[in-house]
Structure 1
Amino acid sequence: MNCLTKTLAALFPAIALLPLSGCASRLDYTLNPPVSNDWVTVTVKLPQETEALPLDVLYRSETCRKEVYDNTTESHVTAVRGLNPKLVTLQPQGNGDIRQARVAVDGGGRCEWKLSAIRVDIQLKGDDPLASGKHILPTSYVFGFDDQAYGSGEGSGRKREVHGDLTLKNELFPMTVFNRVFNENTIALFGGDTNYEKWSRHYRLFDSKHILIEPVLYSKKIVSLETPKSRKDSPGMTVLYPDGSTEKVDDIYPNYDKLLRMK
């Protein structure tokens, strides 16, 4: 056996392992959906004063895993599914207020990426008079396609199971929050305390191919919240409702049922 033959013989076992070890240590984020793939169509019909941010799409891979710290194991290391986040722009449909995007369920590629979650964010436009001088917070809708927790779903509530296509027509109110301690003003679109399941905007979808979000915005029915002037004042937020009435609440949410009676 000559020198070259010996070298190749020694290298062959390592070469054979390269696809597996390389995939585990350096994820290939390329998507290559198969021709016969299923797709999820996300459609948003926007109120005039609002805009949609790019979809936050998350893929996961059983094939390409990554090591993370785990204090429950002796080695303090465990392997979890690889993550592949993508931003997908919602495209205008004609000259109207409809935005739409298609998302592949099977992302394909060397890592065999599978769709795990989609987050849809809508918010007031930056040039809307209501948003002037305020920090704009988006209102989120989260759609899960597996049972893994989605870390960017805060504020959307607990998961509700839905089978088949989904149409959402949430009723939203502009909500301003003035922090008197830090002199900060924010604005969001309020659709109820998502800690209550009936107002949650977090869904676990099964066999869903079409998602339609068509929120109703009562742009003239503004609800305002203010924090106490100082930390020495009694806790809680002061709420000013569109009809001029006020009340003190212990948390950061106004009374949504009361708002619905004022629409």
Structure 2
Amino acid sequence: MIKKLPLALLILFASLSGCAKDYSLAPPPDSEQITVTVKVPKDLVAETLQVMYRSATCKRITHGASGQRIELEGYHSIDVQLQRQGQSDLYQANLAMSGGGACQWHLSNVIFGVAYGNPTRFGENVSYGAGGGVVVVFDQNNSPRGGTGIEVDGDLTIRKEYYPWVTETFLGGYSKRVSLAGEGNIYLSYQALQARQVYFEPVLHSEFAVYSVQPKEKKKGNHTAFTYPDGSVVADGRSDPDFRKLQAIRLAAESKK
């Protein structure tokens, strides 16, 4: 009968030791909670939380370059939807720190963020790109995005500014996407070992969009051209917008009002 099992199941049984019987989550009723809150501005939507639990009881078996057996903590990932709080712009989810079960799961990290709700406002067939993401690690393990991020004491409050970034690419096939240009990488990463409250407030400056057009031919000297909200065009080899320039343009425009 084992030979007839799908390969994915065989891998699962082989990779989790000590809890093949029941590796499901079963948070105890009295488990301490972590609350994740996202303040969602107009034009954006809250993305689904990707929540990871880990277990030192249910090991994950892998092998090194020379074939040696390596035991790692097992992991269990689930998706959680943020729930709108009344008619406000706050969306919230409560996560149990203890996942319980036979594997004695513990909360390891969460990935969440915001995205454009209606990308087609920037044109037909425009899709959402990237940006506006957050990774929070609650233990000593690296996140699926790599590393543990900036260390934070106590609860975590994040307030970041973003600008619409509309990109047109041609190499490898045409696409047009709108992303969120902010300070730093696509995902902001933090390690918050003591946090019980995680609050994220993205501030979107919709009227200060930046546009970029990729060269149609890969050739020395060809660079992506960025058109900033003030009309200036820059093609200096950058792969993403100059956030400081965007800030300066917006602040100068607002000071004239």
Does 2:181 correspond to 1:194?
A: no
Q: Which residue of 2 aligns with 1:4?
A: none
How many percent of aligned residue pairs carry the same amino acid? 29
Deviation, structure 1 residue 180? 2.6
Structure 1, residues 218-251: CA drift from partner, whole Å, max 9, x if none? 0111111111121135243211101100111323
Runs of 5+ in structure 2 lacking a partner?
1-14, 251-257
Q: What is the identity, as a one-letter code, of the residue corresponding to 1:184?
A: S
Q: Which residue of 2 aligns with 1:225?
A: 212
Q: Which residue of 2 aligns with 1:176?
A: 166
Moved more, 118-127 or 82-91: 118-127
**SS of the residue aligned with 2:152?**
strand
Does 2:188 correspond to 1:206?
A: no
Residues 168, 214 of structure 1: 8 Å contact kept = yes
Q: Which residue of 1 aligns with 2:68?
A: 76
Does 2:122 correspond to 1:133?
A: no
Structure 1, residues 11-38: CA drift from partner, whole Å, max 9, x if none? xxxxxxxxxx984473734222223321
TM-score (norm 2): 0.83
Q: What is the identity, as a one-letter code, of the residue corresponding to 1:140?
A: G
Q: Which residue of 1 aligns with 2:3?
A: none
Q: Which residue of 1 aligns with 2:29?
A: 35
What is the CA–CA distance in structure 2 between the aligned matches of 1:65 and 1:158, rounded to whole Å? 21
What is the CA–CA distance in structure 1 between the aligned matches of 2:98 and 2:23, rounded to whole Å? 13
**SS of the residue aligned with 1:261?**
helix
Q: How does 1:1-263 map to 2 (within 5 A)?
A: 23-24=17-18, 26=20, 28-72=22-66, 75-126=67-118, 129-130=121-122, 132-138=124-130, 139-151=132-144, 153=145, 159-181=149-171, 182-194=173-185, 201-232=188-219, 234-263=221-250
What is the CA–CA distance in structure 2 between the aligned matches of 1:119 and 1:93, rounded to whole Å? 20
What is the CA–CA distance in structure 2 between the aligned matches of 1:163 and 1:242, rounded to whole Å? 37
Moved more, 30-39 or 108-117: 30-39
Residues 42, 101 of structure 1: 8 Å contact kept = yes
Q: 1:209 to 1:238 in 2, by over 3 A?
A: same
- Count of equivalent residues: 234
**SS of the residue aligned with 2:35?**
strand
Runs of 5+ in structure 1 lacking a partner?
1-20
Residues 154, 194 of structure 2: 8 Å contact kept = yes
What is the CA–CA distance in structure 2 between the aligned matches of 1:46 and 1:80, rounded to whole Å? 37
Deviation, structure 1 residue 130? 2.7
What is the CA–CA distance in structure 1 between the aligned matches of 2:70 and 2:119, rounded to whole Å? 47
Q: 1:229 to 1:127 in 2, by over 3 A?
A: closer
Q: 1:84 to 1:237 in 2, by over 3 A?
A: same
Larger Rg: 1
Coordinate RMSD, CA, aligned: 2.3
Residues 125, 131 of structure 1: 8 Å contact kept = no
What is the CA–CA distance in structure 2 between the aligned matches of 1:228 and 1:127, rounded to whole Å? 23
After TM superposition, what 4+ stretches of structure 1 lie above 6 angstroms from structure 2? none
